[in-house]
C-alpha cells in the first residue's frame, strides 16, 4: 500500500523515530492526514510550532488507554506503533511499568486497530527482543509475538499486523553517541566492555525501511534490515580519538553482542538483497506468502549477530552517518 492519500497515525510520534518519520513523509508523500499520538504535551507543542503543516493532527493519549486509541484510530489507514519504554537500566528498576506500556499497550493497539478496521499496522521492535536478558527485551519479545499472532484475531476483518526489528539507531535519544560526545568534553569515555559490538543504522534508514515494509507486508512477518556492525571501542575512538577510554564493566541487563535473527528463526526465513523476512509458522497463513518464495533460504545454523556480521563500519563511515542525522 502506498502512503499517497492515506491517513497515517504514529504512536509515540514525538520520539526520535516519529519526528524523523514526520519529516520524511511530509516531504515525500501527499498524505491525507498524519496523526501524531503521544502522552507528552510539551513535545507535541514544540513539534507543532516547528512544522506548521495542515496535514498534521496531534492527539494526546497513552497506549495504555484502549478507549483513547479507539477514538484516535477512527478512519486511519496505517498505524506505526513506535510508543515504548526503552531505557534498560530504568526499566530494570521499574519492570511493571515496562509491562504496562510495552506489552499491554501493544495489545491495546492491536485490539483497537482491529475494531476500527485499520488496514495495516507496523510495530517497531529491537535486537534486544532476541534472546532477551533484560525486562525491556522481554517485553519487546512479547510484543512481537502479539503482533505476529494477533493476525488471527482479525479473522475476516481487513487489519494486518507486522513487525520491523532493527538495531541501535544513530542519533536517537538514549543512544550512546550523545553520551560519548558529552563525556568527550570531559576527556574520558566510559565503555562497559572493549569486546562489545552492536548493529547500527541511521534514523533516516530506519524510517525508510519501515515505509518499504508497509508496501511489502502481508501480515505476520518480521522484517529485519541488513545493517552494519561496529565495536563499541572503535565507536568511542571514532568520536573522540584523543580521549582516554575507561572500561567500567557490563551493566545489568546488557549483552556483549546483539542478535537480529536466531538459528531457529532462520529455518522459516528468507533473505533478500537488503533485508530478511521471518515468516510466521502457522499453517493457515501459508497461502498469503507465495511472493516470499523467491527469497533465498538461509543455511542451517545461520545466525545474524553483531559479532559475526559480514558488514562492518569504519570510523569514517560512522562519523558520516552521525553527521548526516
* 263-278 pLDDT, tens digit each: 999 999 999 999 999 9
* Domains assigned to the chain: 7-324 (3.40.50.720)
Q: What pLDDT, on the 0 to 100 scale, is given for residue 286?
A: 64
- Rounded Cα distance, 284 and 325, in Å: 42
Question: From start to end of the chain, where are the E strands?
Answer: 7-11, 33-38, 56-60, 78-81, 120-126, 160-166, 168-170, 188-191, 197-202, 222-225, 229-231, 244-247, 259-261, 269-271, 275-278, 296-297, 304-305
* 228-246 pLDDT, tens digit each: 999 988 888 887 777 878 8
Whether the Cβ atoms of residue 72 and residue 35 lie closer than 8 Å to each other: yes
Q: What pLDDT, on the 0 to 100 scale, is given for residue 293?
A: 77
Q: What pLDDT, on the 0 to 100 scale, is given for residue 1?
A: 58
* 196-215 pLDDT, tens digit each: 999 999 999 999 999 999 99
Q: What pLDDT, on the 0 to 100 scale, is given for residue 325?
A: 65
Look up residue 42 and give its three cell numbers. 510539551
Residue 171 has pLDDT above 70, yes or no: no
Q: What's the chain's average pLDDT? A: 91
- Calculate the CA 193 to chain-centre distance: 25
Whether the Cβ atoms of residue 6 and residue 31 lie closer than 8 Å to each other: yes
**294: buried, middle or exposed (CB in 10 Å: 19+, 13-18, 0-12)?**
exposed
* pTM confidence score: 0.94
Q: Is 128 a catalytic residue?
A: yes
* 27-81 pLDDT, tens digit each: 999 999 999 999 999 999 999 999 989 999 999 999 999 999 999 999 999 999 9
Active-site hit among 6, 20, 128, 218: 128
**C-alpha to C-alpha distances, 49 to 6, 14, 31, 43, nearest whole angstrom:** 23, 13, 20, 10
Residue 87 has pLDDT above 80, yes or no: yes
DSSP 220: S
Per cent of the chain over pLDDT 90 is: 72
Residue 165 has pLDDT above 80, yes or no: yes
* 307-317 pLDDT, tens digit each: 999 999 988 88
Residue 94 has pLDDT above 80, yes or no: yes
Residue 284 has pLDDT above 70, yes or no: no
Q: What pLDDT, on the 0 to 100 scale, is given for residue 291?
A: 64
H or E stretch covering 185: none
Q: What pLDDT, on the 0 to 100 scale, is given for residue 194?
A: 87
Amino acid at each position: 500500500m502506498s502512503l499517497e492519500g492515506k491517513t497515517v497515525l504514529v504512536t509515540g510520534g514525538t520520539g526520535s523515530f516519529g519526528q524523523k518519520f514526520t519529516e520524511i513523509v511530509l516531504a515525500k508523500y501527499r498524505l491525507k492526514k498524519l496523526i501524531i499520538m503521544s502522552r507528552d504535551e510539551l513535545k507535541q507543542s514544540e513539534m507543532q510550532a516547528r512544522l506548521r503543516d495542515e496535514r498534521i493532527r496531534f492527539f494526546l493519549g497513552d497506549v495504555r488507554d484502549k478507549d483513547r486509541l479507539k477514538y484516535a484510530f477512527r478512519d486511519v489507514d496505517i498505524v506505526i506503533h513506535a510508543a515504548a519504554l526503552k531505557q534498560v537500566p530504568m526499566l530494570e528498576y521499574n519492570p511493571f511499568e515496562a509491562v504496562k506500556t510495552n506489552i499491554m499497550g501493544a495489545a491495546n493497539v492491536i485490539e483497537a486497530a482491529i475494531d476500527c478496521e485499520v488496514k495495516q499496522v507496523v510495530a517497531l521492535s529491537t535486537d534486544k527482543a532476541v534472546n532477551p536478558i533484560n525486562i525491556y527485551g522481554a517485553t519487546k519479545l512479547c510484543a512481537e509475538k502479539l503482533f505476529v499472532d494477533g493476525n488471527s484475531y482479525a479473522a475476516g476483518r481487513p487489519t494486518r499486523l507486522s513487525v520491523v526489528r532493527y538495531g541501535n539507531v544513530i542519533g536517537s535519544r538514549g543512544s550512546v553517541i550523545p553520551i560519548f560526545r558529552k563525556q568527550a568534553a570531559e576527556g574520558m569515555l566510559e565503555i562497559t566492555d572493549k569486546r562489545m559490538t552492536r548493529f547500527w543504522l541511521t534514523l533516516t534508514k530506519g524510517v525508510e525501511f519501515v515505509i518499504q515494509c508497509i508496501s511489502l507486508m502481508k501480515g505476520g512477518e518480521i522484517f529485519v534490515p541488513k545493517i552494519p556492525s561496529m565495536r563499541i571501542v572503535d565507536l568511542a575512538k571514532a568520536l573522540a580519538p584523543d580521549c582516554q577510554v575507561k572500561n567500567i564493566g557490563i551493566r545489568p541487563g546488557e549483552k556483549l553482542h546483539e542478535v537480529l535473527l536466531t538459528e531457529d528463526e532462520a529455518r522459516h526465513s528468507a533473505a533478500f538483497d537488503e533485508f530478511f523476512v521471518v515468516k510466521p509458522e502457522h499453517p493457515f497463513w501459508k497461502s498469503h506468502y507465495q511472493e516470499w518464495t523467491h527469497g533465498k533460504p538461509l543455511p542451517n545454523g545461520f545466525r545474524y549477530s553483531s559479532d559475526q556480521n559480514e558488514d562492518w563500519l569504519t570510523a569514517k563511515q560512522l562519523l558520516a552517518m552521525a553527521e548526516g542525522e
